[in-house]
Structure 1
Amino acid sequence: MNIERTSQARAIQSTTAQPQGEPKAKTDEMGNTVKKDGQPNGTQVKLSQLTQQFKTDSSRDIDTDRVAEIKAKMDAGELTLDSDKIASALVRDIFLFS
């Protein structure tokens, strides 16, 4: 490819412009187009039973106090990480699950 033989770039023109005077379609909070009667127009999503169960899960398997403590240390710049310990744990997990 020779740089002297390149052609000049052309300006990009918009082809999807909405005609002047037409009102923009109404959308709901999720960005879905809404019909004139207020009903959503488009794809409807139903969550699976498992997903609904996750949303209402109260098992408290995450230690939120520990997470808050780690976030505070990160924000303060006081969190020290032992990369050897992390790498060893990752390798151990790989061998356990292989």
Structure 2
Amino acid sequence: MRPRGKPVGVHQVLGEAEQAAVRQAVLDHRPCDMGLSGQLWTRRLVGELIAKLYRVRLTEVGVGKYLKRWGLSCQRADLNAHWPTGALPDHSSDRQSRSDPTASKIIS
């Protein structure tokens, strides 16, 4: 039986050069450097960057697929991390971030 549907990668909205530019921007810069709010990349912020650069809106799932293809992944922030100032951050909004799947950071 023949495989059904289009081959993998045919549905990609961004071309190879556009993907390379976004990947490099994520690796080399913080969101605030690119005119976005925040210090850590999230799927939502990567989607906003793509929309800003190429006027294309992607779902967070779609952004996640690009990130996986680029060898990047999302990880939840470590709430037990050691902070440089020695003071712990304010965790008053942790309940929301734990239930929010977009409260993650991009790592390579």
TM-score normalised per structure 2: 0.22
- Structure with the greater alpha carbon radius of gyration: 1
TM-score normalised per structure 1: 0.24
